[in-house]
Structure 1
Amino acid sequence: MLRIAHCPLYSHPLPEGHRFPMLKYELIPAQLIYEGTCTPENFFCPSALPEDLILRVHDAKYWEDLKGLRLSPKMVRRIGFPLSAPLVQREIIIAQGTLDCCHYAEEFGVAMNVAGGTHHAFTDRGEGFCLLNDVALAAQYLLDHQRAACILVIDLDVHQGNGTAAIFRDEPRVFTFSMHGKDNYPLHKEQSDLDVPLPTGTSDREYLQVLADTLGNLFENYRPDFAFYVAGVDILATDKLGHLSVSREGCRQRDEFVFKTCQRYQVPVVVTMGGGYSARIVDVVEAHCNTYRAALNLYF
């Protein structure tokens, strides 16, 4: 069974100017159930990630300031959301959801989090709508509990996974791969183990060819035993922040290729949604739902 982490707090209400990006977190499960792709039994609601696990990745002072709502105004501006206790609670539930998905992926080959992919969160700070780095927290848990020895992070969000790259810069057991828009946020890029910057306007054919030329070689050379896939749909031509020109069909083919590659090498994969900022919410929701449809078609 495909197991999907989702909690009502994922769509935590924000002030008017911030609500639109949150809509997808309630619309994605609703659409999947409405069309019959999923049933309510596919979804589970995570608890809160324990503090000791948060401190395996995040700096103690940052965490204390975050949960105490004492971040500086400058850092809050870098995060982009007004800081509140429900927002912090949302982040630790998302992180637990990604961790829980690791166990389900070990059992079923794939598991998914409706939220997550908070790859701009560093050890000591948040930015870009990210407070805690859920993929880093889950990957560190796997390492600490000897559940994986070689982890591959496949970050295909249009924005570089700068926080994840920085967190695992000196950790050889985690290979960070980010394929992103060259002329996009963040202005200062960190160094992933492999960065593939794409020029503005990259379309389906070029995008899929670069991915095909890269991902198989990574699996062949690195031989991961676990993978995380940040499946941002901000690569779409309709995205307001993306600057690439990938169609919804191209995005669907991307997801299929990632899943088929993981299957070929028998590597369990946890999928987090990442970003999506198209002007029409239907473009965001449909592209994300295609990721779930692809997983169900290929694994179940």
Structure 2
Amino acid sequence: MLAYYSDQFVLPLPDGHRFPMAKYRMLRDRIAAELPAIALHEAPAATEGELALVHTPAYIDSILQGTADPAVLREIGFPWSPAMAERALRSVGATVAAARSALVAGVAANLAGGTHHAYAHKGGGFCVFNDLAVAARVMQAEWGRSRNPDGSRRSPLQVAVIDLDVHQGNGTASVFQGDDTVFTLSLHGEKNFPFRKEASDLDIGLPDGCADDEYLSTLDHALQELELRFSADFVFFLAGADPHEGDRLGRLKLTAAGLYARDQRVLDWCLDRRLPVVITMGGGYGHDLEKTVAVQMQTYALAAAHAQRWAEADVYI
């Protein structure tokens, strides 16, 4: 299984900043030491042409050239620097590369990504560009240029985004509103950020304090609803660690075992339907970053096992 990283691009954040930059390198180090079935590759940078499949030219330019309005940067939550722009490009490039890998191998991952608060024209909530949306558009474009074995054109690639970060994927929902080739599912804390939510194809808001049993039952029904309403060819799974009970910003009460069961449900659902899946990291703001990374390690250990099962099944879309 291939996984792409961009943790070498560290933002010069002020002391006390809430964004846990260290967790990305911590996760990569643990995967390298403990999960030899995962091949780690440095993320390529997304191209401006790839970004332009989703983002407006003016916004792309403002980030790459460092001319973004201070209000835009405040909404993102990062000061501008060359490292900020480069990291944003690599975070998107990692998900694009993972998507190309997953189409062949069944599963691949970005050790960062899940930047679902970025809109077409602006960022927000520590998200600069929307890696999920850009990768979905790249895959659809490349799929559309290929042909069936008989030479006929392929039908449009149908993409499902299963967003299980604790925060609603408002930017992703906005990008794909009214698009019947992409289905956005967001299971999130109802009273949590963002306080002005966008309409996904399926939004399920959860109460503060929601624990394992309620969460998993709700997820089961959400996956059933997704299958009833949409025939997916490809899945992006945003496996946020922030529903964990130890998260500073999450407000839900899932245990590590509950999050393991969450990931297993989604990956089993994808394999049972022979759907390639890309995993992105999303949020995770634990009081103890070691616990956040331990939750993410569960996700990637399951993903590696899923990749092996996919290889044994020998299936292709």
Q: TM-score, normalised by structure 1?
A: 0.95
* Paired residues for 1:181-260 under 5 Å: 181-260=189-268
Give deviations 1:228-277, integer Å, cap 9, x for gaps: 00110100111111110100110111001100000011000001000000
* Paired residues for 1:142-181 under 5 Å: 142-146=139-143, 149-181=157-189
Aligned mate of 2:36, from 10, 30, 38: 38
- Preserved CA contact (<8 Å) 1:10 1:94: no
Matched, 1:298 2:306: yes
My pick for the range that moved more, 62-71 or 275-284, is 62-71
- Preserved CA contact (<8 Å) 1:11 1:25: no
Matched, 1:89 2:97: no
Unaligned runs of 5+ in 2: 145-155, 309-317
Aligned mate of 1:52, from 30, 49, 54: 49
**Tell me, what secondary structure is at the counterpart of 2:8?**
helix
C-alpha separation in 1, matches of 2:3 and 2:126 = 22
Moved over 4 A (4+): none
User: Which amino acid counterpart does residue 279 of structure 1 have in structure 2?
Assistant: H
Cα offset, 1:47, TM superposition: 1.8
**Tell me, what secondary structure is at the counterpart of 1:128?**
coil
**Tell me, what secondary structure is at the counterpart of 1:104?**
helix
C-alpha separation in 1, matches of 2:103 and 2:142 = 14
* Paired residues for 1:280-291 under 5 Å: 280-291=288-299
- When the two structures are aligned, how many residues end up with a matched partner? 297
Structure 1 residues 215 and 296: alpha-carbon distance in aligned structure 2, compared to 1, 3 A threshold: same
Question: Percent identity at matched positions?
Answer: 38
- Identify the residue that residue 141 of structure 1 maps to in structure 2: 138
Matched, 1:17 2:16: yes
- Identify the residue that residue 28 of structure 2 maps to in structure 1: 29
- Preserved CA contact (<8 Å) 1:18 1:81: no
My pick for the range that moved more, 128-137 or 76-85, is 76-85
User: Which amino acid counterpart does residue 111 of structure 1 have in structure 2?
Assistant: A
Cα offset, 1:195, TM superposition: 0.2
Cα offset, 1:10, TM superposition: 4.5
Q: TM-score, normalised by structure 2?
A: 0.90
Unaligned runs of 5+ in 1: none
Alignment RMSD: 1.5
C-alpha separation in 2, matches of 1:59 and 1:283 = 38
- Identify the residue that residue 264 of structure 1 maps to in structure 2: 272
My pick for the range that moved more, 61-70 or 124-133, is 61-70
